[in-house]
Amino acid sequence: MSKDIATPARTKEILAKFGFSFKKSLGQNFLIDTNILNNIVEAANITSDTGVIEVGPGIGALTEQLAKKAKKVVSFEIDQRLLPVLDETLAPYNNVKIIHSDVLKANIHEVMSEEFQGIEEVMVVANLPYYVTTPILMKLLEEHLPIKGIVVMIQAEVADRIAAKPGTKEYGALSIAAQYFAKAERVMTVPATVFVPQPRVDSAVLRLTIRDEPAVKVTDEPYFFKVFHACFANRRKTILNNLVHNLGPKEKKQEIEEALSEAAIDPKRRGETLSLEEFGRLSESLLKRLPRS
């Protein structure tokens, strides 16, 4: 078996062989530390029965470690220049499928039904490009994919925001959006020094365990999302002010005040103090009073 991809020397050798240059626009930072990759695989509890979806395999460093443990790995790569590299670096593994596609445009449900027949447990494991972390995570969550969880390497600051608790400065719309679908926990910090090229900030591994049912029961999921996004539109403003300015026509202030009262929420509070349950109650009481525009 060939040497692991994720060492400084082997990575350098592969990049030189293919004359590969990093594209800043694609947020390409390749991992060169096998121990960290193994920790990511471990955090995802990958077994020989697991199917894995990966996003952005790069030159295959994480893909390789996943392929050693999983039943099958399906990886989405947007950069055509990496396809011949992956053909070579992952040649020893017959349980890997590379799909040349932008994951944000892909029909993941369709890919899963084609590629994971007979596989009951599927995890998403990836080293995500910083610039599209949030859109990718939200697509994976909002599409209600039949997955058990998501383990991703992302910017440390974003991991903190996703896993944040009410009342903290990190807590916001992204925390609620993610925690509505999944339990979020930060697994480990990863220094910039284990990547080439080195990013300017540290990264973190985040684990999202998909809930059997969303954290709160709401009648209209898109409306619930609209409500909490409105509450965070201006963090310095109270919930009442944010809702009046961002949810519906301004002349509906009285209805908004009634909805807050019914949900037992003080209109002077700010968005970051509300729990998921409170946002759920608020969404339901607003839905009765304001039109869905």
**Known binding site for S-adenosyl-L-methionine: residues?**
29, 31, 56, 77, 102, 127
- Rounded to a whole number of angstroms, the CA Rg of the chain reads 21
> Taking a C-beta distance cutoff of 8 angstroms, is the pair 155, 142 a contact?
no
Q: Among 31, 33, 62, which Cα is nearest to 46's?
A: 62
> Taking a C-beta distance cutoff of 8 angstroms, is the pair 238, 271 a contact?
no
Instruction: Give ∠ CA 206-217-273 in degrees, rounded to 5.
Output: 60
Q: Among 31, 5, 20, 12, which Cα is nearest to 199's?
A: 31
For 132, other C-beta atoms within 10 Å of its C-beta total 18
Q: How far apart are CA 175 and CA 163, in angstroms?
A: 6
**Known binding site: residues?**
29, 31, 56, 77, 102, 127
Which residues, other chains included, contact 36 with Cβ-Cβ below 8 Å and sequence gap of 6+?
Answer: 188, 190, 194
- Residue 162, classed as helix, strand or coil, is helix
Residue 123, both tokens: 């995890």
